[in-house]
Amino acid sequence: MRVYTCIMKRTFSCHCTTLRYAAQTLTEAYDRVLAPSGLKVTQYVLLRSILQEEAEQSLTDLAQKLGSDRSTIGRNVRILARDGLVTLSRGSDRREHTVCVTQKGRETFSLATPLWQKSQAAVEETLGEDQLKTLRTLLSQLEEISI
């Protein structure tokens, strides 16, 4: 558990901190299970998203697809490229880059998929189908929050 979250959890009830703690805890659990593949859950999801398209994708398109900002996707893709899991190429615009999964990336993804499925099954077993459906509904309502 992260120190900040631990302190915040003990001192007062904050909805944002509670959700962040839950997300961090779940991320750490997935990362532990995925460790033998060498991937973190964020990297697994990124590889999966890239592989869903047959052609190379631009970082901008990938960021939009994942609901993230381009700079975050760019940093994460560069880590995958450093590890030989994807290749980066210049797009039609000099500022744009496209990404494609390498054979090593496909093999790593194949190794990680049963581990990811194991994590998914553990969450489903812990919460149950009804509670997962409720959780998804509640989280989607938070996307519409206006403060």
- Residue for token pair 């450093």: 82
CA–CA distance, 103 with 107 (Å, rounded to integer): 6
Q: What is the pLDDT of residue 144?
A: 86
Task: Please answer whether residues 35 and 44 qualify as being in contact, where contact means their C-beta atoms are separated by less than 8 angstroms.
Answer: no
Q: What is the pLDDT of residue 135?
A: 94
For the 38-113 domain, the top CATH level (class) is: mainly alpha
Torsion of CA 26, 136, 18, 16, to 10 degrees: 120
Q: What is the pLDDT of residue 134?
A: 95
Q: How far is CA 57 from CA 63, 65, 84, in A?
A: 10, 10, 17
Per-residue pLDDT of the chain (147 residues; tens, 9 = 90+): 555 555 555 666 888 888 999 999 999 999 999 999 999 999 999 999 999 987 788 899 999 999 999 999 999 999 999 999 999 988 777 778 899 999 999 999 999 999 999 999 999 999 999 999 999 999 999 988 888
